[in-house]
Structure 1
Amino acid sequence: MADSYDVPSRLFEIEVSDSAEAAKLLSLRTLTASLRDVGVSITLGNWGNGGSSMALLGGLDVDTVTIARELMATVPRDARAGTVMTALMDLLHALDVRVVVSGVDTKEQLQWLSRWPDALAQGTLFPRPQAGLASMLALRREP
């Protein structure tokens, strides 16, 4: 795919939705090695809302974890939710995993999240992207 569109494979990222089965597969480095060899990144999406366990998190061969929006829903107004998110953010940072936090819908949530400057945020607070990959590839092919 990358070669046919003249796009470097390092720009490709495969996102796998969180589930117990996905976590088990992503912990098998023999399954992810060929993707790694060509530079493709792997994301575990919607983590914290599926069936994977904390026990598997350390063994996952992923570059990015997208935290489910439900975990951010009541942060920062609910102290317990904030404690859970703080622990998750610190844990993922310690594992050297890129973090995308879904459900950042208010300025207060964005301010709270600023303690982790490398974290990426997505939610209704941000405008939708204006150009998709297809549009960008079409522009690249123009003479």
Structure 2
Amino acid sequence: MDPDKKNPVLPGRFIPVLENSGHITKLDTFVNRTVREMIRKRKQEGKKVLPVAVNLSRMDLMDKDIMGRIWENVNDKKIPVSMFHYELTESAYADITESGSKFLTGLQKKGTKILIDDFGSGISSFSTVRDYEFDIIKLDMGFVQKIGTSKKTDNILIALIDLAHSLDMKVIAEGVETKEQVEFLRKNNCDYFQGFYYAKPMPQEEFEALLDREL
């Protein structure tokens, strides 16, 4: 939290700092533990749960301790393995080692979903989906926020959705903020939407209250 404004500090501000300082694995460890505890607690209380996607950094996929903790998540008999999704950016995948790639494949065989984040933002987008069988792609918000600005932009977005579906992948659109964007994406068979149109970042307590109201 920002001590002066009492508002959440968004990931775009602090994630690069943690990555550059080498502390991103500590945050990812905390997030993995928190998600696991939240899902387990809700299951024990008889409350409904939805899959939660946790980010993996390039450093995570080179850290045996972190990978071991993730295996603990998917091997937890009290939690359906399908509740865990893991997402990584194109840049993280570009630097992945052979052991990191095998680790992701092992997670998929267990029943988790692997997502590629910010798809379309890097020069390696197509080679990334060619070289690894992701379950879900998340379209970069740069495409979504330009919906309706030009026919070319709209056609590129439609083509990306069709490409993903032809490769048996689901599609999440990031950065959805307007009704017009939602209508366009629905019309063109996008599977899921993420953005301020639905909700802004919120504390865990508010998120769980939202789940209780909506599920």
TM range (shorter): 0.7 to 0.9
| Distance of 1:112 and 1:118 partners within structure 2 | 9
Q: What CA distance in whole angstroms lies between the structure 2 residues aligned with 1:131 and 1:120?
A: 22
- The answer to which structure has the higher helix fraction is 2
Matched, 1:79 2:156: no
- Separation in structure 2 between the aligned mates of residue 93 and residue 23 of structure 1, nearest angstrom: 22
CA shift in 2, pair 1:4/1:92, >3 Å: closer
What's the TM-score once normalised by structure 1's chain length?
0.77
Per the alignment, residue 22 of structure 1 pairs with 93
Matched residue type, 1:22: Y
Conserved in 2, the CA contact under 8 Å of 1:66 and 1:101? yes
Partner secondary structure for residue 180 of structure 2: helix
Match in the other structure for 2:120: 48
Equivalent runs, 1:48-127 vs 2, <5 Å: 48-117=120-189, 119-127=191-199
Q: RCO (CA 8 Å, sep 6+): is it higher in 1 or 2? A: 1
Amino acid at match of 2:197: L
1:35 and 2:107 aligned: yes
Structure 2 unaligned blocks of 5 or more = 1-71, 209-215
Question: Alignment length, in residue pairs?
Answer: 134
Computing the radius of gyration from Cα coordinates, the structure with the larger value is: 2
On the 8 A contact 1:26/1:62 being kept in 2, the answer is no
Instruction: Deviation per CA, 1:89-142: give whole Å up to 9, x if none.
Output: 111111110110012111111111112445101112112477849x86xxxxxx
The structure that is strand-richer by fraction is: 1
Identity %: 23
Give the conservation status (yes or no) of the 8 Å contact 2:93–2:128: no
Range 69-78 or range 21-30, more displaced:
21-30
**Partner letter of residue 16 of structure 1?**
L
Aligned to 1:140: none
In the aligned structure 2, how far is the partner of 1:115 from the partner of 1:26? 39
Shift of 1:61: 1.9
The alignment's TM-score, normalised by the length of structure 2, stands at 0.53
> Aligned in 2, Cα 1:50/1:81: closer, same or farther, shift over 3 Å?
same
Give the aligned CA root-mean-square deviation in angstroms. Answer: 2.9
Q: CA deviation at 1:23?
A: 4.5
Contact kept, 8 Å, 2:90 with 2:128, in 1: the verdict is: no
